[in-house]
Chains A and B, each alone.
Chain A
Amino acid sequence: SQTIHQWPATLVQPVGSPLSLECTVEGTSNPNLYWYRQAAGRGLQLLFYSVGIGQISSEVPQNLSASRPQDRQFILSSKKLLLSDSGFYLCAWGRVSYEQYFGPGTRLTVT
């Protein structure tokens, strides 16, 4: 069966510090991978998605970036965090016309 991992589970970072969130998927190959952000009391905002190694599509202009160095690894990064980057970050995997499966999420608080 497939599983998806995210770490860390929680993170508190000061404004201006760098960020690296990692997501890995097990039990499948060549999945589509997604990063979403969920602000407090709001819906899901798609940040990035990837259909293959090195292929990243950005949905929202911001100070975040994503990379996919391996087939089942998806990384979300920032060089300098803003207060507005606080939120709940969710990684998901899926396939074309297939349901998406979500990781447990990372709670990021920027102070």
Chain B
Amino acid sequence: AQSVTQLGSHVSVSEGALVLLRCNYSSSVPPYLFWYVQYPNQGLQLLLKYTSAATLVKGINGFEAEFKKSETSFHLTKPSAHMSDAAEYFCAVTANTGNQFYFGTGTSLTVIP
């Protein structure tokens, strides 16, 4: 069985501050992990993915995430927040033999000017 938990349904940061969105996973098999971003009334857009290669993964828009097996975490970070980063962020997990994704409940990011 697989699942992800996103800690903090709402996160607020000041423009220019560090963004840290937390995701912990549970998986009985080696996981593949993903972060998606959703802007209002739009579909989800892939930010980055971990598929058992490098543990530090760089994505679009300056985001990156680090896979830490010992902590079962895959937290999303960005050094400096922009106003355009305000959106809903979802963490997801699947297995290398899986057809299904398991999504977290999402974290709403607010950027304060």
**Cβ contact within 8 Å between A43 and B90:** yes
Q: Bound complex: CA of A34 vs CA of B41, how far in Å?
A: 18
- How many chain-B residues does the 8 Å CB contact rule pick out? 25
> Which residues of chain B come closer than 8 Å to A105, judged between CB atoms?
41-43
CB distance from A58 to the nearest CB of B (A): 12
Residue B45 CB within 8 A of the other chain: yes
| A103 and B43 contacting across the interface, CB-CB below 8 Å | yes
Q: Is B51 an interface residue (CB 8 A)?
A: yes
Q: Is the CB of B99 within 8 A of A32?
A: yes
Question: Are A90 and B90 touching (Cβ within 8 A)?
Answer: no
Known contacts A43-B104, A43-B106, A44-B103; decide if A96 and B98 are in contact (CB<8 Å): yes
Docked CA distance A105–B105 (Å):
18
Q: Tell me the nearest residue of chain A to B43, going by C-beta.
A: A102
B82 on the interface (CB 8 Å rule)?
no
Closest to B51 in A: A97
Q: Whole-angstrom distance between the alpha carbons of A29 and B44 in the complex?
A: 21
Chain A positions 56-111 with a Cβ under 8 Å from a chain B Cβ: 88, 90, 92, 94, 96-97, 99-105, 107
Q: Please report A residues at the B interface, Cβ cutoff 8 Å.
A: 32, 34, 42-44, 46, 49, 51, 88, 90, 92, 94, 96-97, 99-105, 107
